[in-house]
Chain A
């Protein structure tokens, strides 16, 4: 479930980001079951024809999560849909929505002496204003790729004379593990550990899209992994206020097809309810212990989204009790502000107002090797997914 992209169908999925590396060696991983079952051709075609049968109008449906976007283009799911059904790729890729300002802060911190800067892998290639973290590494910075923030904590324990900073990126999915790292750091009295917080929340982003005058979205596939942590109580007021169906959806081809089916069925019948397609993983109340650790360490605050701008109450910031673990404050960067470049239309892409290939830079001056904006960098970014699987 690393940054919401472990799109496996396994009910007993163990998320790497929640495991301490010391524990991992003791766990015997059972075979991951039920992968092929959710990628079954016959069943997919059956759903495709069911969708065709019930669709009488044109509909714009947004899949919120980048993991879903990735699956849609990887498996060519949109090819199985009726012509009028348009999938809009939502803002649910944490790498893509992390503001340029935070990337520049990460680069600034990672470039300093005596710092070990730890991050999930795909943040390393996200371009800042001048360079990316990989470049900092090449210039001699100690930048390390991790699967878990708890590994960064271990590094902090082993290197008491260094400042260890973890780039805490992600939606609600990575928040529990990041919260746990900070919680443990405090409990263990570790003073040389901090996190650069870049946490964003899904429901405020959905509301920002719905309340926009240019909004095209008529129904949502909500992000299954986010809901696995948070449940889906938050979506009922949204569905009611904006009269949109919201279907909590998984990540395998059959999940997505079923989610689309459920969403279109509501639209065709004039309903706007919250439904749960991903019931084998998600329940309405969410994961209580995960939510507890998140609310112990974090509180809701304003967050700047790349390409979209500031959205009130759309992110997580550290609680006052944990403010000593805020890398932005610790390194004196709280006041740093950076403007986004003009050429990249990732903000428009993220709101679903344009498709990646409708951008003039797409595939020409902007490629996964030389990304202009974050949507081209991350595996889950809509531009990268289009480039990799489509090459229009």
Chain B
């Protein structure tokens, strides 16, 4: 998230602390307190033409008939971490899922499950963050819901977002479209989100703070598609990292992928943190990284478009697709070949 966006939003929490320093069960109870919360906080943050309809459901007219629709829930702990927070994550995560089908994200729903006693100031921080991330990604919050659960029955706040986007291209962006000979392009360095979270949880401090890479990817994807690149597949690299994503793809598409370890960008600080914590950056989560799988003929053009974009400055061609077994091979740093397997179990608990 662009830090300049943070500075323009310096409003005080619209529900004065003196009144309600903490969220009460009644804030989700449908009565007066809930209406105060909606009118003072949510409407202030999310106001738009659709919310102003004030119906039980949002009514939307779409310009095309083909849409993408997705949902995701966010339970990250800690809620606020270097570089981002649960609010921006909940927007960008769903925006990115839409973008990976080449859709233009337009509307999000927002479900908040808040634990009784949650600090009102923190709720406001989350709401502001959602509002700013939605603006940055160019999406509207079209509908929402708030529930408050008993103290001890939640973990501060859980956020669910669903998203609707329109598909305006005729490409078949899907794992099944991947062909032998295709090239795999990654939009930057790996592992920053997972390590930012882990450092916060473990109280590790680095010379320079490692910030989450949480970012909306719809802009960069739009540029790739608008340039006429024959995109075969797009995938964002969230939980399980690059390795798990590639393994999912080979299993779905029945192709073999070979990655060159030396071409995969990993920053020195993340690499160091991984060594200390016992992680492999190939498996660490990201929230602003994706791979584009394109025909070799389009690879250089696609790479250049990505390199020119703010969220692709360190883009690199990291591997290629071939006929073969449905496995991912890694050419190691010292030149030997091995399997890059899918992660078993969790490497980091609750990171998104």
Interface residues of A, Cβ cutoff 8 Å to B: 2, 5-8, 10, 13-14, 16, 21, 24-32, 35-36, 39-41, 44-45, 73-77, 79-80, 125, 145, 147, 253, 367-369, 379, 384, 387-391
The answer to whether A76 and B334 have CB atoms under 8 Å apart is yes
| Contacting pair B339 A391 (CB below 8 A) | yes
Q: Which of A26, A30, A32, A145 contacts B349 (CB 8 A)?
A: A145
Give CA–CA (A6, B341) in the complex, Å. 21
Q: How far is the CA of A14 from the CA of B273 in the complex (A)?
A: 11
Select which of B203, B207, B269, B339 is within 8 A of A24 by beta carbon.
B203
Which residues of B are found within 8 Å of A76, using beta-carbon distances? 332, 334, 336-338
A35 and B276 alpha carbons, distance in the complex (Å): 12
Q: Is there an interface contact between A369 and B344, defined as CB atoms closer than 8 Å? A: yes
Give the Cβ gap from B256 to chain A, nearest Cβ, in Å.
13
Report yes or no: A388 in contact with B207, Cβ–Cβ below 8 A: no
B20 within 8 A of A: no
Interface residues of B in 280-334 (CB under 8 A from A): 327, 332-334
Structural contact, B337 and A387, CB atoms closer than 8 A: no
A159 to chain B, nearest CB (A): 16
Chain A residues within 8 Å of B223, by CB: none
- Proximity string of chain B (34-61) to chain A, C-beta cutoff 8 Å, 1 when within and 0 when not: 0000000000000000000000000000
Question: Distance (Å) between the CB of A95 and the closest chain B CB?
Answer: 12
- Can you give 9 contacting A-B residue pairs, CB < 8 Å? A7-B275, A26-B205, A31-B207, A39-B334, A41-B333, A75-B336, A388-B339, A388-B341, A390-B338
Residue of B nearest to A36 (CB): B333
B202 at the interface (CB under 8 A from A): yes
- B339 engages A75 (CB within 8 Å): no
Contact with A along B208-246 (1 / 0, CB 8 A): 000000000000000000000000000000000000000
Q: B202, B207, B278, B333: which contacts A379 (Cβ < 8 A)? A: B278
Q: Could you tell me which B residues sit within 8 Å of A by CB distance?
A: 202-207, 268-269, 271-273, 275-278, 327, 332-339, 341, 344-345, 349
Kindly report which residue of chain A lies nearest to residue B349, judged by CB atoms.
A145
Contacts A6-B275, A35-B271, A41-B333 given; indicate if A28 touches B338 (C-beta within 8 A). Answer: no
Cα-based distance from A13 to B203 in the complex (angstroms): 17
- With A125-B345, A389-B338: A32-B333 Cβ-Cβ less than 8 Å: no
Cβ-defined contact, B336 with A24, below 8 A: no
Cβ-defined contact, A30 with B207, below 8 A: yes
Q: In the complex, A388→B345 CA distance in Å? A: 12
Q: Are B327 and A41 in contact (CB under 8 A)?
A: no
Residues of B with C-beta under 8 A to A36: 333
Question: Can you name the residue of chain A whose Cβ is closest to the Cβ of B262?
Answer: A41
Say which residue of A13, A16, A35, A391 sits within 8 Å of B341 (CB atoms). Answer: A391
A145 proximity list for chain B (CB < 8 A): 349
The reply to whether B271 and A32 form a contact with Cβ atoms under 8 Å apart is yes
Give Cα A261–Cα B127 distance, bound, in whole angstroms.
Answer: 60
* Cross-chain contact A389 with B202 (CB below 8 angstroms): no
Which of B205, B271, B278, B341 meets A29, CB within 8 Å? Answer: B205
Q: Are A29 and B206 within 8 A (Cβ)?
A: yes
Query: How far in angstroms is the closest Cβ of chain B from A117?
Result: 16
Which residue of chain A lies nearest to B344 when distances are taken between CB atoms in the complex?
Answer: A368
Nearest-Cβ distance from residue A278 to partner chain B, whole angstroms: 16
- Measured in the bound complex, the distance between the Cα atoms of B204 and A49 in whole Å is 41
Distance between B170 CB and nearest chain A CB, rounded to angstroms: 38
Closest chain B residue to A30 by CB distance?
B207
Q: How far is the CB of A132 from chain B (nearest CB, A)?
A: 11
Given A6-B276, A31-B269, A41-B333, A368 contacting B339 (CB threshold 8 A): no
Return B176 CB to nearest CB of chain A, in Å: 24
Residues of A with C-beta under 8 A to B271: 32, 35
Expressed in whole angstroms, the minimum distance between the Cβ of A82 and any Cβ of chain B is 15
Pairs A-B, 8 closest by C-beta atoms: A76-B336, A32-B272, A368-B344, A44-B334, A8-B275, A24-B203, A39-B333, A388-B341
Chain B residues closer than 8 Å to A125, beta-carbon distance = 345
Q: How far is the CA of A81 from the CA of B276 in the complex (A)?
A: 29
A39-B333, A379-B278 known; 16 other A-B pairs, CB under 8 Å? A6-B275, A8-B272, A16-B276, A21-B202, A32-B273, A74-B332, A75-B332, A75-B336, A76-B334, A80-B336, A147-B277, A253-B334, A367-B344, A384-B344, A389-B339, A390-B339
CA separation between A389 and B204, bound complex, in Å?
30
CB of B227 to closest CB in A, whole Å: 35
CA distance A129 to B335 in the complex (A): 42
Residue among A35, A77, A80 having the largest count of chain B Cβ atoms under 10 Å:
A35
B206 to chain A, nearest CB (A): 5
Determine the distance from Cα of A379 to Cα of B346 in the docked complex, in whole angstroms. Answer: 12
**Contact status A79-B336, CB under 8 Å:** yes
Chain B residues, Cβ within 8 Å of A73: 338
Please indicate the chain B residues that have their CB under 8 angstroms from the CB of A44 in the complex. 334-335
Query: Which A residues lie within 8 Å of B202 (CB)?
Result: 16, 21, 24, 147
A375 to B337, CA, bound (A): 23
Q: How far is the CB of B280 from chain A (nearest CB, A)?
A: 8
Whole-angstrom CA separation of A27 from B269 in the bound complex: 15
Looking across the interface, which residue of chain A has its beta carbon closest to that of B201? A147
Given known A369-B344, A379-B278, A389-B338, contact A25–B272 (CB-CB < 8 A): no
Residues of A contacting B334 with CB < 8 Å? 39-41, 44-45, 75-77, 80, 253
A6–B278 touching, CB < 8 Å: yes
**B207 contacts across to A, CB distance below 8 A:** 28-31
**In the complex, which residues of chain B have a beta carbon less than 8 angstroms from the beta carbon of A79?**
336-337
CB–CB A27/B341 < 8 A = no
Docked Cα-Cα span, A36 to B275, in Å, equals 12
* Smallest CB gap from B202: residue in A: A147
Given A35-B271, A369-B344, A389-B341, verify A25-B333 contact (CB < 8 Å): no
B204 and A24 contact, CB distance less than 8 A: yes
- Which of A21, A27, A31, A74 is the one whose CB lies under 8 Å from B338? A74
Rounded to whole Å, the gap between the CB of B190 and the closest CB of chain A is 15
User: For residue B275, which residues in chain A have a CB less than 8 angstroms away from its CB?
Assistant: 6-8, 10, 32, 35
Nearest B residue (CB) for A134: B345
Is A391 touching B349 in the complex (CB atoms < 8 A)? no
Task: Choose among B278, B327, B333 the residue that contacts A2 (Cβ–Cβ < 8 A).
Answer: B278
Q: How far is the CA of A286 from the CA of B336 in the complex (A)?
A: 34
User: In the complex, are the beta carbons of A29 and B335 less than 8 A apart?
Assistant: no
From residue B338, how far is it (CB to closest CB) to chain A in Å?
5
